[in-house]
A and B are shown apart, each in its own frame.
Chain A
Amino acid sequence: MTPLIELKGVEKHYGDYHALRGIDLDIRQGEFFSLLGPSGCGKTTLLRTIAGFEAVSSGTIRIDGRDMKGVAANHRPTNMVFQSYAVFPHLSVAENVGFGLRRDPRSKAEKARAVEQALEMVGLGGYGQRRAHALSGGQRQRVALARALILEPKVLLLDEPLSALDKKMREQMQVELIRLQRQVGITFILVTHDQEEALVMSDRIAVMFEGEIGQMADPETLYRRPASKRVAEFIGKMNFLPADVRRDGGAIEVDVAGLGRGAIAAEQAPGGVPVGAATVGLRPETLAILFEGEATDRRVAEGVVDEVVYYGDMTYYDVRVPGVDRPLNIAMKNLIGRPVLDVGTKTRVAWDERALVLLPG
């Protein structure tokens, strides 16, 4: 099956500035795909080249097998939800949603019904006659969504659509967007700088840095097996420890400073296996503090609590382990009967080599 969207060697220059450096990307029909990265990484530029607002300097973009070179935005099978929502202030909600139906051959009454259906789909049924300026941010966003979806595009492009909403609203919209995407079956491409948002919503994520794709994978792979230190740092929290790597036939053996030796599997080194000095990563939730009398079959290191950050459901500890240059960040669930330790408490830390990721660079 050919991919719905195919990018090959896409480059974009703004004068001396190299915004996109050889992007190759395949996006499948019906996929929820995210472009994730820090601001200035080129993710929005990439989205705008797909939408047709920016011309590529070189490379090709194909949508549904058709080369998009020279095809203007108004002739592309894509629609966009803008970061500012771009809801027309001089039109009513219904006029906004029906904006793209001008050339639609259907009768006025049928179009009005389609508009009402689109509004109902985004939870704004009965809002048609309201003026756009009388809407809240979340409602504007729904109007922008309905306005794009009513045209049944092959691809819906979303440019940081949730960044202007407050946390509660954002989480609610995340769930609604996923539901909506499944319902309409349209391919979604989401641009976001929020790693949590990308993990929650996407089928696949491309992490971008400085105009390049750092890693492209499904959320779990990206989180558990980041291919580089940069990706590991950008997504979630990660303890980085210096280590010494040795290959013994098929086995990979690492000696982690302050923790000890362990053997790892090949898939724990998605970025390749360096030999000699390297960095390993350990997620805070893969480490555990052993409370009084607790036994474990995992490896154990001794340490002292250096910092305690209480989150309600979780407590984050920084534990200083002799031989490790930085305190280890450890996430512990606040289960029943489990105390919150004080700074200075002597404690044991359990770790597991199966959770190690070997990171080049």
Chain B
Amino acid sequence: MGLREYATTEGGRAATLVAPPFLYALALLALPILAVVLFSFWTQDFMTVDTSFTLANYREILDKPIYTMLLGRSLMVSGIVTLVTVILAFPVAYYVSFHVQPSKKSLWLFLITIPFWTSYLIRVFLWKVILGYNGVINSGLVGAGIIDEPLSFILYNVNAVIITLAHAFAPFAILPIFVALEKIDRSLLEASQDLGESRVTTFFRVTLPLSMPGLVAAVLIVFIPTIGDYVTPELMGGAGGKLIANMIQTQFLQLNNAPLGAALALVAMVCVTAISLVFVGLNRRWLRGR
């Protein structure tokens, strides 16, 4: 079969369609990751890179507490951000799905995505304005006489990072939960009440389990990118709020130690993958047959 005939078959057509993005992903995703993997097994020798295979970088990451501490903090921050975001997103998604008229639902979704109209960077800076020493919250509370001194625990620390990230990722959590809730056949809720359950117990026995796929998706969508987030901890984290991404950046650009940076990046990636796989496993359990 010649190439021309192959292109007209079902498989051939699919291959033709998928080839451009596939090549793109290969060149811009797979090859760079391969380069990172290679670099992580090399070492920096002042100005040159020593390309002999070694595990020295990984040993250093394990030996020096700063790296494991940063990794632990990153995991903790993304964990809290995920928890806060999903818990806050669920009621919003629930309200839009169950209490907004069908004709107004798309308007609500549109409103939820409005924050995306401004750039991420600007939104982070805006939180600075809100949380800052002379920011909206502090001057408001001082002006109202509720506090005498501006609150200091809401800027340039981990708390500020969590608040900013939770806000930035809220729409990403709302949308998958909303979709899962929309897919629930409303007669199931009536059936549950018919079989003796109240509205509250119906929520826990029917609505919540059936929205699990959306919840798991929301958790993944928030958790994975926040672990590697660089901008927010850089701008909002101060000295004590830096995360693993900031250290990777420092290694690559300031300390000129690309191999160690690459190893750190890989370790973070493996952590994210491991945790994500647990959630994918959970998702599978809930999705079984649906």
A positions within 8 Å CB-CB of B: 51, 53, 72-74, 78-80, 82-84, 86, 88-90, 99-100, 102-103, 131, 133-134, 144, 147-148, 151
Contacts and interface: CB of A to CB of B under 8 A. Distances in A.
B250 interface: no
Given A74-B196, A74-B198, A151-B196, A86 B289 contact: no
A36 B62 CA distance: 76
B149 interface: no
A114 to B, nearest CB: 14
A74 B185 contact: no
B142 to A, nearest CB: 50
Contacts of B192: 88, 99
Contact of B191 (A80, A131, A133): A80
Given A88-B206, A89-B289, A90-B210, A82 B190 contact: yes
B222 to A, nearest CB: 24
30 contacts: A51-B194, A53-B190, A72-B193, A73-B190, A73-B193, A74-B193, A74-B194, A74-B196, A74-B197, A74-B198, A80-B191, A82-B187, A83-B187, A86-B187, A88-B188, A88-B192, A89-B188, A89-B289, A89-B290, A90-B210, A90-B286, A90-B290, A99-B192, A99-B205, A100-B195, A100-B196, A131-B289, A144-B191, A147-B195, A148-B195
A84 B209 contact: no
A90 B209 contact: yes
Contact of A84 (B185, B196, B289): B185
B194 A80 contact: yes
Nearest to B209: A90
Contacts of B190: 53, 73, 80, 82, 86
A276 B51 CA distance: 112
Given A90-B210, A131-B288, A84 B195 contact: no
Contacts of B194: 51, 53, 73-74, 78-80, 148
Contact of B289 (A53, A73, A83, A134): A134
B195 A79 contact: yes
A86 B191 contact: yes
Q: How large is the interface on B (under 10, 10 to 19, 20 to 34, 35 or more residues)?
A: 20 to 34
- Rank and list the top 10 A-B pairs by shortest CB-CB distance, nearest first: A100-B195, A86-B191, A133-B289, A86-B187, A73-B193, A74-B193, A90-B209, A82-B187, A80-B194, A100-B196
A79 B187 CA distance: 13
Given A51-B194, A74-B197, A131-B289, 11 more contacts: A53-B190, A74-B194, A74-B198, A79-B194, A80-B191, A86-B188, A89-B210, A90-B210, A131-B288, A133-B289, A148-B195
Nearest to B212: A90
A86 B193 CA distance: 12
A80 B190 CA distance: 9
A297 to B, nearest CB: 57
A73 B197 CA distance: 9
Contacts of A53: 190, 193-194
A84 B187 contact: yes
A151 B192 CA distance: 13
A103 B195 CA distance: 11
A122 B209 CA distance: 27
B172 to A, nearest CB: 25
A82 B191 contact: yes
A73 B286 CA distance: 28
A82 B290 CA distance: 20
A102 B187 contact: no
Contacts of B198: 72, 74
A303 to B, nearest CB: 52
B210 A102 contact: no
A165 B108 CA distance: 38
Nearest to B194: A80
Nearest to B197: A74
A73 B205 CA distance: 17
A73 B189 CA distance: 11
A150 to B, nearest CB: 9
A133 B192 CA distance: 18
Contacts of A148: 194-195
Contacts of A80: 190-191, 194
A74 B189 CA distance: 11
Interface in B161-208: 185, 187-188, 190-198, 205-206
B212 to A, nearest CB: 8
Contact of A133 (B188, B193, B290): B290
B215 to A, nearest CB: 13
A86 B206 CA distance: 11
A100 B193 CA distance: 9
A53 B199 CA distance: 12
